[in-house]
Amino acid sequence: MLCQENLIFYISWSLILGGLFFFLQQMNKQTPYGRYVERSNPGIMVPAKLGWLIQELPSFLVPVLLVLTTEGSASLGRNLLLSTFVLHYFHRTFIYSLLTKGQPSPLNIVVSAVVFCSINGFLQGHYMLHCARYEEAWKIDTWFIAGLCLFFLGMAINIHSDYILRNLRKPGEIEYKIPKGGMFELVSGANFFGEILEWWGYAIATWSLPGFAFAFFTICSIGPRAYHHHRYYLEKFEDYPKSRKAVIPFIL
């Protein structure tokens, strides 16, 4: 397949502009899933485990299908950089979805996520396989190494934070509790902070417009959610640690 440069450009900038719109929208009203579902009129709901599996699957499946249908010699992009993207979504699709104890999600949220993950999966996969070109020296470039380190650090924080959240409540308990341990000692949205680190690390390692567009969309979409979580904890718990920030340690 030939590189569709114009398509890559337009989709990337659509993510950037969409991220800005999403950010402004969420600062006023949080996306209605999880604790923010409208209980009076929730609509059609999808069980949490099934919902996460369905909505995350395209981000794993689309790049894998592109790899399987792409001829040519292996490259740095295919072997390592795209593998980091696929690795994250393998975990989110086949591991996180089975472990989650989250609440059901509205069907329209799941469908929207499927559409986004399909488009972004194509964007990242097509760019890395058919458009990106890296010199051999890129393997030892500071930006490449720093980006990968940031990606795996963020992934570790994200997975560990999800583990803490899953084990906050004992079986049968429904009340929210204050998360403790790990990066939660610094920020209320430790899991979100980890994912933001992942995708900015990916953007730096790939040094690409699609990578930066996705990282920008990520911080615009889950950054406000971390802020709303932080405000929720402060309002609900009188003893909530005042030193914690919302999503960026010591800053925000």
Interior/surface letters 43-75, b for 16+ CB within 10 angstroms, e for the rest: eebbebbebbbbbbbbbbbbbeebbeeeeeeee
Which H/E stretch holds residue 148? helix 142-166
Q: What is the pLDDT of residues 95-144, one digit of tens each?
A: 999 998 878 888 988 999 999 999 999 999 999 999 998 888 888 899 99
Residue given tokens 């399987």 in the structure block: 68
Q: Sketch the domain layout of the chain as residue ranges.
A: 5-236
Measured in whole angstroms, the distance separating CA 193 from the mean position of its chain's CA atoms is: 10
Q: Can you give the pLDDT at residue 34? A: 59
Measured in whole angstroms, the distance separating CA 143 from the mean position of its chain's CA atoms is: 21
For residue 46, list its beta bridge partners: 105
Read off the amino acid at residue 246: A
For residue 187, list its beta bridge partners: 245
Q: Which of 190, 195, 198 is nearest to 247 (CA)?
A: 190
Q: Can you give the pLDDT at residue 39? A: 62
Residue given tokens 């950089």 in the structure block: 81
Q: Can you give the pLDDT at residue 87? A: 96
Q: Which of 152, 86, 76 is nearest to 125 (CA)?
A: 86
The pTM (predicted TM-score) of the whole model is 0.91
Using the Cα atoms of residue 70, residue 74, residue 79 and residue 80 in order, give the sign of their dihedral.
Answer: negative
Q: Can you give the pLDDT at residue 70? A: 86
Q: What is the tally of helices (H) and strands (E) in the chain? A: 9, 2
Q: What pLDDT tens digit does each residue of the chain (252 aa) get? A: 788 999 999 999 999 999 999 898 887 776 665 566 666 666 788 998 999 999 999 999 999 999 998 887 667 777 889 999 999 999 999 999 999 887 888 898 899 999 999 999 999 999 999 999 888 888 889 999 999 999 999 999 999 999 999 888 777 666 778 899 999 999 999 999 999 999 999 999 999 999 999 999 999 999 998 988 898 899 888 889 988 999 999 998
Phi-psi region of 250 (alpha: psi -120 to 50; beta: other; left: phi over 0): left
As to burial, measured by CB atoms within 10 angstroms (0-12 exposed, 13-18 middle, 19+ buried), residue 103 is middle
Both tokens assigned to 146: 């720093």
Greatest Cα pair distance in the chain: 60
- Cα–Cα dist 171/100, whole Å: 13
